[in-house]
Structure 1
Amino acid sequence: MAEKIKEVAEKAIGTSGAGLKDVWVELLDAIKEAEVSDYIKVLKESPDLLLKGIPKVGEGMGVLDPKDTTPPIMDSVPVILDKVKKYGIEKFVSEVPEIADKFPDLIESMDEMVKGIDAEKWTEYGKEFKDLVIGLFPVINEGLPAVRRANKDVDDVFNKVKSAKVTLGMNLVEMGWGFKAKFDGGNMALEEGLEGTDLTLLLPSASQLEMIDVAMTGNMSAAMKAFTTGKIKIKGAMMRGAALMPLFSAMGKLTKK
């Protein structure tokens, strides 16, 4: 099944425009039907497929109708995540050190992914994928420490805010929901909801897309411009949030290594 995933992934990477609709479904079905051992084999032997595939997902989200792309994602991704959870997230990450090694490239690929999506479609996807995104939080919360143990550069990035104890809220205004990132002792945990935040960013969809680029590239001048021009409003103790600035600056340097 690993070879099938590789074959379809290569086809997807070489496809553009409306043709992505059918190959998208074919790839998700192949991954859903495979075992975790197949995922590991693909990632170990062909990690660049993931790096090339992430921007292609963004291209598909940008050119295709969400009504066509959302159902196969909602049908497949929870099944795939459940398999990885049952296998053990930390075990999975430890058996694919290529994920940790390629972490800066993955961040760059995710930044590239959102560039082809307009704010209107981003809003629609955000509404549809609320439960899916929230379901990813436990995976991220358990997987990130494993990545940090395997990649010193990533660990150093989060250690830049080791002294910060801040709960940062993200109000996804047009999507109608929000979440928070809790930073404490250099550790980060994502949780649903906006209760108990020290400060909250009010993020319209267009501003979310800009902030993803800022967070991934560490462009602090762009971040400050977004705040001073009112594109992003802050509710709460702004100075508490300043303690997190070194994290984003260091993340940008990491992706440029």
Structure 2
Amino acid sequence: MDAATIDVTLVGPKVKASGNVRSQLKPASKGIMPGDSANDVRMPSMLKQDQPVIVVGNGLDYDGSVALGTYTGAARLFQGDTSIKGETIVIDNKAGNLSASGGVVTTTVLDEAGKDKKKARVPSIATSNDLKYDDATRRLTYTTNAHMNGPEGDMTAARIELYLKPSGDELDRAEAYENLTLREQNRETKGSKMIYTTANETYVVTGAPVKILDECRRETIGKTLTFNKGADSVVVDGNAQIRTQTKGGNVKCPG
């Protein structure tokens, strides 16, 4: 650890550091399970398990009795292409959880399988007031003014949740709640809840009502809309696609 000042209390131990704090979290040593006394650092599954993590901030308060580190003042965590920024970042070294608050900005790079089943590294950028990552469920939760732009589309909502696969480097599903707006494939969808599943690239959006507006300004309305990523078909309330309203657009559309 580097900092302008570092105070250590052996009981705990407890560490207080201030001024250009920079610390490195190292993965568990081979043969030692994360959380063991010989190595109390448990890496969150969303991060690479064989690479160190750098955390910086203006201040650090670490309590070894609960393995909890709180970084304050322009805090930033980064590992390769993955980064988390916030006024405060809290890391639970025993449970592998972390949280951030105050102008949160995250950049994550996850594997995504294409139509040819080949995987490619795809970045996503998200912002919110608060972020919590729970390692037991591999869930990232963005709350208050949540916004995410990635391969799933550009979405805003009161809360956005990302569930990772056991590997930690692939998305299993994404969920969004309250005041949802989703933009993808030249469509804009508004509703109250969305679940996107990567296995079948399917969006299920519910609301009262849900509305989809396509590039030709055709509007589809229903209580539940189901559609596939990259496909033009929309299932409304379990029925075939229904176009309820057509307005003029700026693109070449069917007459």
- TM-score, normalization: structure 2? 0.29
- TM-score, normalization: structure 1? 0.29
More strand by share: 2
Structure 1 or 2, whichever has the larger Rg, is 2
Greater relative contact order (Cα < 8 A, sep 6+): 1
